[in-house]
Amino acid sequence: MSKLQESLTQGQFTITGEVGPPKGVDLHHCWQEEVSYIRNRVVAINVTDNQSSVMRISSVSICALLAKEGLEPILQITCRDRNRLAIQGDILGAYALGIRNILALTGDHNSAGDHPGSMPVFDLDSVSLLATLSALKGGKDLAGLDLEGAPADIFGGAIVTPGAEPIGMQIIKMERKIEAGAKFFQTQAIYDPKTFERFMNKASAFGVPVLCGIVIIKSPAMAKYMNSSVPGVFVPEAMIKPLSDTPKEDRWKVSLELMTTFIQEIKPMCQGLHIMAMGWEKYVPPMLDMCGM
């Protein structure tokens, strides 16, 4: 059982973080300026997989390095770049390297990234990827053939978007993912406690742990970009205005206060947080301190 699975199974309030592999082999920023700040404050660390369709070093390699350091990785796998043969091989390879947690994602389209001429695959989607994990755990591949050793303790999860409309569609998708084998959920960023409460009133019926997604807002421009460009994510004016009224050099303080207030409001509704610091990893420890975590 992974540390993440153990924490969630025991009903503990669980915090996960996230790092983005570099576009190259220089790991200094990823390791020293991201991992170093969150390593003692989170149970597990997501490693993104060619996030936003931008080519980066293999997420499996970063997960393997984290595991070697005694840290708990969560391997994100997107279905955009690989067919079912490659995906199954990567899952088994990751398992052999000590990686036990996998987050299943369909993935952004190639046109959104830095290689728009590349061919999208999407042989699987997030639901069929979860079903693939379940098959492999049971000792079979997707062709129904026996494995020479099954990765029986893989812990698979998925994402959900609490702020998407209509909310009923998200609940249907969530149920399908649970039926396919999802054991936990990390949400997309959410900033309105009432919206999150409305979602959790429905999602809690499934009895599957939900970690509320937090993206630390750095500036009014970032908030407005998310509102206009990130589907299902909305930063309310009550968060944007205090940042707009604050000098740039002091915005980090206001941002942490806003995030702390939000976290304290939603904490009773969920089983944990998934923190996406987006370059502000150094502010994760003080934010958690402010939250008493």
Neighbours of 214 (CB within 10 A): 22
Q: What confidence score (pLDDT) does residue 112 get?
A: 86
Note the pLDDT of residue 32: 84
If one counts the domains in the chain, the total is 1
Beta carbons within 10 angstroms of residue 145's beta carbon = 8
In this predicted structure, what is the pLDDT of residue 108? 87
pLDDT score of 208: 98
**CB-CB neighbours of 148 under 10 Å:** 6
| CATH number for 132 | 3.20.20.220
Among the ranges given (106-110, 123-127, 160-164), the one the predictor scored with the smallest mean pLDDT: 106-110
φ/ψ (deg, to 5) at 103: -110, 120
Q: Is the pLDDT of residue 18 over 90?
A: yes
Q: List, in sequence order, every beta strand (DSSP E) within the chain.
A: 14-19, 44-47, 73-78, 101-105, 155-160, 184-189, 210-215, 272-276
47 backbone dihedrals φ, ψ, rounded to 5°: -120, 115
What pLDDT was estimated at residue 33?
Answer: 79
210-256 pLDDT, tens digit per residue, is 999 999 999 999 999 999 988 899 999 999 999 999 999 999 999 99
Q: What would the pLDDT profile of 186-214 be if each residue is shown by its tens digit? A: 999 999 999 999 999 999 999 999 999 99
Per-residue confidence (pLDDT) for residue 231, from 0 to 100? 87
The two structure tokens encoding residue 101 = 């947690």
Tell me: pLDDT of 1 over 90.
no
100 pLDDT above the threshold of 90: yes
- Segment 48-61, tens digit of pLDDT: 999 889 999 999 99
Domain containing 172: what range?
3-290
